A and B are shown apart, each in its own frame.
Chain A
Amino acid sequence: MIRFLIKGLYYDKSRSRLPIIVVAIGVMLAVFLNAYITGFMGETVELNARFANGHVKVMTKAYAENESQLPNDLALTEVTALKKELSERFPELDWAARIQFGGLVDVPDENGETLSQGPTTGMGIDLLSSESMEIERLNIRESIVRGRMVQQPGEALLAEEFSRKLGVNPGDEFTLISTTMHGSMSLYNFKLAGTLSFGNEAMDRGSIIVDIEDARTALDMDDAAGILLGIFDTGFYDDERALEIAYTFNAGMDDEDEYAPVMKSLTQQSGMGQLVEVTEKWSVYIIAIFIVAMALVLWNAGLLGGLRRYGEFGVRLAMGEEKDHLYRTLIYESVFIGLTGSIIGTALGLFAASLLQGDGIDITGMMEGSAMLYPSAIRTRITPTDYYIGFIPGLLSTIVGTMLAGLGIYKRKTSQLFKELEA
């Protein structure tokens, strides 16, 4: 009987071709979208991890509560020792101290009078020690527009747009006006080494990047740091492990002490938890949407196809086939169509996704004005899920579509079907 059904599908292309094409297209899109979302979301997560959140992040409890205000008076102290301890306890992470600060950049003219001024948010990161991975992590070398990397203390990098606005060029001097850790005013002179463009608005608006030791001197933060980031050596965020590490670390800390360090995983920080959660749930949404959309199309296709086959159904019933059996054979047919379409669709989807793995398509222009850190390219990431995920909407939609379409036949009385066949 199965062979008879498959022959029917093979001979009667209108019975199989359209549904297979619908399924294949749907499955292809589902697989591609899943690979794309995995890639896009994953990259967004990593980008935010590298620029701001780390895979885990250590701050004092008080700093964590007011983080958006960059409260350096609440910064971590004795960072060298803390960092050493963290490296020993959690060697799978690379630890990097950073100081985030706000302030004013003041550019003088040849007489020392203010030529221009602009508000800035800055980052002090380890640019000069040999074991630092921060330059690679933030992709600084590749982001330089004019000038060069910081090579010695007292040098700084400014966002390209910001430097143009201020009229300051590589080689020029300027003053950073800020507040020390202890609340007094700080003035510190930098020489502009080069300008930067990271390709995302959030970073390019008004930022200054200096070596962390300069920041410490300028802000009077001896062996202190606002934040200490931990990044997995694998380069990929592992939520389960990050939560575990944060839990272990926090367990040994004094709850009462406002200045005691706390560790937060990426998902425990602002907005990122939802992002990771969405990434994980996204496949479910995609699949649900595709199941519904494809089932609707296939339902209609099945209704039309069913109309054409009333003659066949009537005659099969007359020959003594039971209605249940007839209905079941329709479902067998749909399983076959669903499988065939899913195999083709998965192959096509994986192929399309593989084309956009690696370099991807540059979409820098489309991301202008965005406040979040988004990747600047459409890039896919194929995971094992992509090999089977398409089969879920592929099979479910054909089966559901066929079941709905077949209900009409199922409900009609045999004699009625038979009349329609004779007509």
Chain B
Amino acid sequence: MDNNAIIQIRELTKSFPMGKSKFTALSNINLSLEKGEFTGLIGPSGSGKTTLLNIVGSLDTPTSGEAWVLNQSIGSLSAKEAARLRKEKLGFIFQSYNLLAVHTVFENVEFPLLLLKIDAAERKKMVMDALEWVGLTDKVKSKPPQLSGGECQRVAIARAMVKRPSLVLADEPTANLDAANSHHILQTMVKLNEELKTTFLFATHDDKVIGYLRRKIYLLDGKVANDEWVKDYHTVK
């Protein structure tokens, strides 16, 4: 196995039971991602982007084939081991933010650190750092319903980043945002990718997101249709 690889997928197939037959959402996927990539899974609706992202995120398991994430084989992890992988190494960003609506911005960002049992003083510092990355230090005490969509997604980014995960998985992070906000959060993520060397894997069909990607993996009907690197990539300011 390639030691630099953060994700390695071999002959991965995922099918869902559909009544008596089954529906194959992913078939024979082979992929490998290295540390520090800023890569997207691109494809039309139903092409299998979320399914693949969920397997990489250890929220689901392959039907056959293998998915190695940070040197752990997703298919053979127990529920406990999968939870531990997510807790320690992975960050998630969702289309619909999925913040804890009744808790403050601070508490939302703090939650992953509670799971890691980090002590209070250290937690506070880490949360404030993360909120500074996304420019929300003045909204510490606000609650999600009082924030705009863009601000909510920035809180979600801070929450995914606060524990400095090795890999961030972002499923349609801009789908609910307008252009200005989309660019803002994408620039934030590019900055974090460069400064913290965090690997990002997106699932998207949004051109705005695609414009920031350094590597584009096209999915079609559950297969990799194309896999290309952007040649003259410039860091976006």
A, B co-complexed: yes
- A-side interface residues toward B, CB under 8 Å? 1, 4, 7-8, 11-12, 15, 311-312, 314-323, 414-415, 418, 421-422
Give the contact stretch, choosing among B40-48, B106-114, B147-155: B106-114
B79 touches A322 (CB 8 A): yes
Since A314-B98, A418-B54 are in contact, a sample of 17 more A-B pairs with Cβ atoms closer than 8 Å, ordered by chain A residue number, is: A4-B103, A4-B111, A8-B103, A15-B102, A312-B100, A315-B100, A317-B83, A318-B57, A318-B92, A319-B86, A319-B111, A319-B112, A320-B83, A320-B90, A321-B83, A414-B79, A414-B82
B83: min CB distance to chain A, Å: 5
Instruction: State in angstroms the CA–CA spacing of A22 and B88 once bound together.
Output: 40
Assuming the A-B contacts A414-B79, A422-B94, are A321 and B100 also in contact, with contact meaning beta carbons closer than 8 angstroms in the complex? no
Q: In the bound complex, do residue A415 and residue B102 qualify as a contact, i.e. CB atoms below 8 Å apart? A: no
Knowing A7-B107, A414-B59, A415-B59, say if A321 contacts B98 (CB, 8 Å): no
Determine whether the beta carbon of A319 is less than 8 Å from that of B115.
yes
Q: Could you tell me if B102 and A12 are in contact, using CB atoms closer than 8 angstroms?
A: yes
Q: Is B60 in contact with chain A by the CB < 8 A criterion?
A: yes
**Residues of chain A with a CB closer than 8 A to B102's CB:** 8, 11-12, 15
Please indicate the chain B residues that have their CB under 8 angstroms from the CB of A421 in the complex. Answer: 98
Is B87 part of the contact surface with A, judged by Cβ < 8 Å?
A: yes
Q: Which residues of B contact A422 (CB under 8 A)?
A: 50, 94-96
A-B contact pairs, 15 of them (CB 8 A): A8-B102, A8-B103, A311-B98, A312-B101, A315-B98, A317-B83, A318-B92, A319-B112, A319-B159, A320-B90, A415-B54, A415-B60, A418-B59, A418-B60, A422-B94
Q: Does B84 contact A (CB under 8 A)?
A: yes
* B174-194 to A contact mask, C-beta < 8 Å, 1/0: 000000000000000000000
Query: Closest residue of chain A to B61, judged by CB?
Result: A415
Complexed CA–CA distance, A418 and B59 (Å): 8
In the complex, B80 has a CB within 8 A of chain A: yes
Are B88 and A320 in contact, with the CB atoms below 8 A? Answer: yes
Any A CB within 8 A of the CB of B85: yes
Give A312 to B96 CA distance when docked, in angstroms: 12
B22 CB to closest chain A CB, in angstroms? 16
Total A-B pairs, Cβ < 8 A: 73
| Interface size of B in residues (CB-CB distance below 8 Å) | 34
A-contact 0/1 string along B6-26, CB 8 Å cutoff: 000000000000000000000
- Show the binding face of B for A, using Cβ within 8 Å: 50, 54, 57, 59-61, 79-80, 82-88, 90, 92, 94-96, 98-103, 107, 110-112, 114-115, 143, 159
User: Are A318 and B111 in contact (CB-based, < 8 A)?
Assistant: no
- With A and B bound together, what is the CA distance between A7 and B159 in angstroms? 18
Task: Provide the bound-state CA to CA distance between A4 and B113, in Å.
Answer: 12
Residue of B59, B94, B103, B111 with highest tally of chain A CB at under 10 A: B59
A19 to B179: give the CA distance in the assembly, Å: 44
Q: Chain B residues near A323 (CB, 8 Å)?
A: 79, 83
Contacts of B57 in A (CB 8 A): 318
B114 A4 Cβ-Cβ under 8 A: yes
* Shortest CB distance A167–B (Å): 79
Residue of B nearest to A318 (CB): B92
Chain B residues whose CB sits within 8 angstroms of the CB of A1 once the complex forms:
114
A316–B159 Cα distance when bound, in Å, is 12
Which residues of A have CB within 8 Å of B83? Answer: 317, 320-323
Chain B residues closer than 8 Å to A318, beta-carbon distance: 57, 59, 86, 92, 98
- Find the A residue at minimum CB distance from B120: A3
Closest residue of chain A to B51, judged by CB? A415
From the candidates B50, B79, B92, B103, name the one contacting A319 in the complex (CB within 8 A). B92
Do the beta carbons of B111 and A320 come within 8 Å of each other?
Answer: no
**Chain A residues near B86 (CB-CB < 8 A):** 318-320
Q: Chain B residues near A7 (CB, 8 Å)?
A: 103, 107
- The residue on B at minimum CB distance from A414 is B59
- B115 contacts A320, CB within 8 Å? yes
B176–chain A nearest beta-carbon distance, Å:
13
A319–B54 contact, CB under 8 A? no
C-alpha spacing A319/B87, complex, angstroms = 5
Q: How far is the CA of A84 from the CA of B113 in the complex (A)?
A: 82
Chain A's closest residue to B50 (CB) is A422
Q: Which B residue's beta carbon lies closest to that of A421?
A: B98
Q: Shortest distance in angstroms between A323's beta carbon and chain B's nearest beta carbon?
A: 7
Expressed in whole angstroms, the Cα–Cα distance for A181 and B57 within the complex equals 98
Given the complex of chains A and B, what is the CA–CA distance between A322 and B85 in angstroms? 11
A312 to B87 CA separation, bound complex (whole angstroms): 16
What's the Cα separation between A311 and B156 when bound, in Å?
Answer: 14
